[in-house]
Structure 1
Amino acid sequence: MGESFGRYRLGNDEEVMKYVTAANVACGFHAGDPIVMRNTVKLAKKYNVSVGAHPGFQDLRGFGRRMIEVTTEELFNDLIYQLGALDAFLKVEGLKMTHVSPHGKLDPLVSYEEEYTETYLEAIKEYNPELIIIAEEKSILYKKAKAFGFEVATVAYPDLKYDSKGDIVIERVKKAVNPIEVAQRAISIVKYHKIKTIEGNEIKIHGEMLCFHGDSPNAIEVLEVVR
C-alpha cells in the first residue's frame, strides 16, 4: 500500500484499509513519496491497521518488479534508508512498525540468494530486531530468519498464481482477477494448506498471513468477496 507517487494514483488505500488487519507500506524506492507515506500511515491509524515496511529496489519506472543488480553493501544501506523513512512517519503518528515484507523482485533475491538473505536480515536486525519477518515457508529467508532469532510469519498470496515449484508468478502490471477464484484459493490455503498451480497440479502451502495486492484493478471487489 502507499504506492502512489506525486500526481500518479495507484489503488484505493482507504477502501483497502477497511478490509485488512496489516498493511505493507512502500518506503519511497519502488513507489511512494513523503506525502503518500504520511497519508497512508494516517489511514492505518484511523482503521487500526498494523504497519510494516515494504522495501523494494530503487526502481520507480519498473515499480520494483524488475531485477536490479545491487551489491550487498548497497542492499544493506538501501534497507536501512527505507525502514528509517517509514518509521519516521509512524513515530510522528505514535505508531510502531510491526513487520517487514520485501516487494517485487527484491523478494526472490532476499528469499533465495543466501548472501543477500543474510544481508537483508542483518540490516533489519541492526535497525530493529523485534520486527516480524514475513516469508514464504519454503524459502531460505524463512529458515535464516528463525536462525537469526526473529519472529517469522509465513505468507501466501491468494490473488497471485503459483507454478509447480511453489514460486509466485510476478506480473509487471497487475490485471483484474476473478474474486470467486481468489476466495476459493484463500480458503484452500487456510483450511487445506494447498493451492492449485498454473500447471494444474496441487502443491502444499502455508500462510499465517494472506497477502492481497492493492494495485489490482478490482482489489476492493476481491477483498469484499474474500471477507
Structure 2
Amino acid sequence: MESVDSVSPALQRYGDEVLEDQLWQRPGLAPRERSIVTVAAMIARNQTVELPYYMNRALDNGVTPGELSEMITHLAFYSGWPDAMAAVEVAEEVFSARHISTDRLAEERPELLPLDQDFESARRTRIEGTYGTTGQGVQQFTTDVLFQEVWLRPGLAPRDRSLTTVSALVATGLTGQITSHLNIAMDNGLTEEQADEVLTQLAFYAGWPRVFSAMPIFKEVLDARSL
C-alpha cells in the first residue's frame, strides 16, 4: 500500500524487513500454504481492504481459483455467511481482472470423497455425549451438510481444508474448537513443524494475543500426540 510510508514509516520498515524478508521466507511452510493460512484468516475476520492483494498473491503462489473458491464456501460455515459474501465480492473483482472463468472454479455438485465411517461414528458419539439433545438443528446440519458434504468436497484437499479451518479458528479467537480441528489437521497430514509455522504466520496476520491464546491448546494437542 503506497500510503503506508507517509503514515507510518516504521510499519513500512517492519513490513519490508520482517514480514516480507523473514516471515514469508521461512521454510516451515511453503508460500502456497502461507497464502492459505493468510487468506483464511483475513476472510474469517472480514478484513477486505488487503484481501485483493493476498488473494492475488495466493494465486501467484499456486493456490488455484477453484481452491480459493472452495475456501470461501468452506469458511461460510466456520466464520459465517456475511464474511463469506464479503470475500465473494473481493474474489469476483480479482477473478475478473485475471480473466478467470467459472469453469475454473469449484464444482457446484461434485462427486464427494468417501466418508470415513469410523471417524464419523466417533464424531457423532462425541457430539451427542457432549451436547445431548441441545441444538438438534445445529447437530443435524453439522452431520448432514458440514461433515457429510462440505468436508467431502474434492475442490480442496483435506489437509488444505484443515489448514483453512484451523487458521480461521485461531484468527478469530475461537479456542474451544481448536483441539478437535488441529487433531483432524494432523490426521490429514499436517506436521508438528507446520503447525508451529501456522501460529507464526498468524501472529502477524491475526495478532499476538490471539496466537498466544491458542498456543497452550496447540501444545496440549502436540504433547498428547507425541506420547
Q: Do both share a fold (TM > 0.5)?
A: no
TM norm structure 2: 0.34
Structure with the higher fraction of residues in strand conformation: 1
Length-normalised TM-score, structure 1: 0.34
Highest Rg: 1 or 2?
2
> As a proportion of its length, which structure holds more helix?
2
Choose between structure 1 and 2 for higher RCO, CA contacts under 8 A separated by at least 6 residues. Answer: 2
